[in-house]
A and B are shown apart, each in its own frame.
Chain A
């Protein structure tokens, strides 16, 4: 009985040692991974910072002005290019040009179908006003 207990104790000892070390190395590995990711994140952040600075440098108004005068035919906004919303003309009445053509051709007239019944909608005007 005691012998069995001893063997069991030794096995448990080895087992727990193996388990503890596994956990330890796993932790170290994970911690390394975390550090690596942190470094990567930091490197990316620094990269973004550099790119932001570069973008701000490239998009600085001085340079844009130079490029605009060189490559664009644009002129500074002048007052006569601005109109009030109320000054915009009303949308013109939509005219059904095809309908009007049909009308002049007389095609819109009701046709006498063999049914013999005159359509009640005979007086429909094609030129609708919206």
Chain B
């Protein structure tokens, strides 16, 4: 309307007779869409100015946001500080050994707290176990996010909430719990407050890539993680631990331990070491008394090592079951003399050397093999190298630096070489399972899997001979206390005098007992050990292994036997040792070897 001139020009002759109203509307639209550069320049400027203002506002806002610590970044800091989820740990039957639970933790944003002294006072009043001075320091720091207390109870959460402090909030966190307490604690290890594995299988899990995932910023949820299934059986472990605890108390031993190994798969189905700790309270675990005596402690295994020495002599064809060894007098070597604990003063057959646990006989057999052969065999049996299982805690065996004939003689009967009991268990397992060395594992696996990296260390005949000797020892030798009927047990005792101030002590001993069940086709190998057990009057004042470790093993078999899944047998098997029978050796009940022993 304000521009009448172009209107009259552009209006057609045909449009002239149209009513004035419609004419006006039409001309309005025409002007609206007409392009006249002269006239639109100021409009374009105006629009440009508008956009400049708009973008300037956006930029200012962006800069402002960049400087201001927004809640988003604090959230991120919190996620980083949050403890990550860990997979559940189950036993071989699926029972829970370790799991995550959600707990609430109190955090503070120091920048948003107005009166820090008041906040400290109020918070410590509600959470009495928080150190006031430390908390004040933390609140005074320039950090955007600090923890006040991790893992509070719902009641405490309510109380803190009612304080109504600005800048104090809650975050749900994963907390590791071990519902079974000290059972299998040495295998499980523990995780710290940040849910990082510190020891045992927990550390192993972190080593398998979980820690990397956490560090890469993945917020893992427990349901996304596959549970880790251990080879341990919760019930067997409890039974073993309970019996060993009773034994430690009864014999007033300094420490005790035990393990059950599946000799065909190398799985450790039970492990206990006392004194132990509760992984829910990790501070306990640092006590050096609480080490895993099966894997971290190294000991002179005593007579249980004789199994290895005799197997060596048999494997290298130095002796057969019918061979005889002179044990008439003590064995002198330089200024050392080797005695027998149960001296027989006669010539012994190989089975008699084993059942009488003759030091002299075993030393002589080792001498037949020689120093180099002995070393090579022990190396093959894994006794000279550190045994590495899934557990990060392990120990290097104490091998003599100079290995003379004397060393060979003493090591043959279990003195002078300190190994981890688990290591000795592995070797004896290989001797009885048919001759295959299988590395012990704490993870569940099948027999096929375990056979993959199994190495043959002795011939099947030697393995069968060892089973025969162990069975013989259970019937007529020192393992009688563990010979529980029905399970066809074989066993060997071991008593090692402890070295106190560089000398072998007479009254401080380390006793071990190894048992196989059943002896004709072993499935389980048990080890029970006691550190410094005391003699009991009813045992005739003896503190040798048969009376403590042996009798406890008997108790363990009696109690756990029904849980082993091995059918009890009432009559001894008809042909337990077929290969030996072919060679003319009878059943262990009537030891054929002893009949021609005394010549």
Contacts and interface: CB of A to CB of B under 8 A. Distances in A.
Interface string B90-103: 00000110011110
Nearest to B172: A46
B222 interface: yes
Contacts of B99: 49, 52-53, 56
B235 interface: yes
B90 to A, nearest CB: 10
Interface in A69-118: 76-79, 82, 84
Contacts of B238: 60-62, 65
A45 B179 contact: no
Interface in B164-193: 172, 177, 179-181, 183
B340 interface: no
B97 to A, nearest CB: 8
Contacts of B558: 76, 78
B180 A53 contact: no
- Nearest first, the 4 A-B pairs at minimum CB distance are A56-B179, A61-B238, A57-B179, A56-B96
Contacts of B172: 46
Interface in B547-574: 558-559, 561-562, 567-568, 570
B101 A61 contact: no
A50 interface: yes
A39 to B, nearest CB: 11
Given A53-B177, A76-B558, A60 B223 contact: no
A60 B183 contact: yes
Given A57-B180, A79-B484, 8 more contacts: A46-B172, A49-B222, A50-B102, A53-B99, A61-B238, A62-B238, A76-B562, A79-B561
Given A61-B180, A65-B242, A76-B559, A82 B101 contact: no
Interface string B139-170: 00000000000000000000000000000000
Contact of B180 (A46, A56, A65): A56
Nearest to B95: A56
B234 interface: yes
A2 B539 CA distance: 118
Contact of B181 (A62, A76, A79): A62
Contacts of B101: 46, 49-50, 53
Contacts of B567: 84
7 contacts: A49-B102, A50-B102, A53-B101, A57-B179, A61-B239, A77-B562, A79-B484
Contacts of B222: 45, 49
B177 A79 contact: no
A45 to B, nearest CB: 6
Contacts of A50: 101-102
A61 B234 contact: yes
Nearest to A83: B570
B486 interface: yes
A86 B114 CA distance: 83
A16 B96 CA distance: 57
A77 B101 CA distance: 37
B213 to A, nearest CB: 19
| Size bin of chain B's contact surface | 20 to 34
A92 to B, nearest CB: 24
Interface string B369-402: 0000000000000000000000000000000000
Chain A CB within 10 A, most for which of B180, B242, B567: B180
Interface in A1-56: 42, 45-46, 49-50, 52-54, 56
Contacts of A62: 180-181, 183, 238, 242
B485 interface: yes
A53 B235 contact: no
B179 A61 contact: no
B171 to A, nearest CB: 13
Contact of A60 (B180, B239, B485, B486): B180
Contacts of B570: 79, 84
Contact of A49 (B100, B485, B486, B568): B100
Nearest to B222: A49
A52 B102 CA distance: 12
Nearest to B96: A56
A56 B280 CA distance: 14
B82 to A, nearest CB: 14
A78 B3 CA distance: 116
A57 B177 CA distance: 9
Interface string B75-111: 0000000000000000000011001111000000000
A86 to B, nearest CB: 11
Nearest to B235: A61
A65 B183 CA distance: 13
Nearest to A6: B29
A52 B223 contact: no
Nearest to B25: A3
A42 B172 CA distance: 12
Contact of B96 (A42, A46, A52, A65): A52
B23 to A, nearest CB: 14
Nearest to B242: A65
A56 B234 CA distance: 11
A84 B239 CA distance: 25
Nearest to B484: A79
A65 B568 CA distance: 24
Contact of A79 (B102, B239, B568): B568
Contacts of A78: 558
A57 B279 CA distance: 13
Contacts of A56: 95-96, 99, 179-180
Contacts of B486: 79, 82
Contacts of B180: 56-57, 60-62
A71 B235 CA distance: 20
A53 B102 contact: no
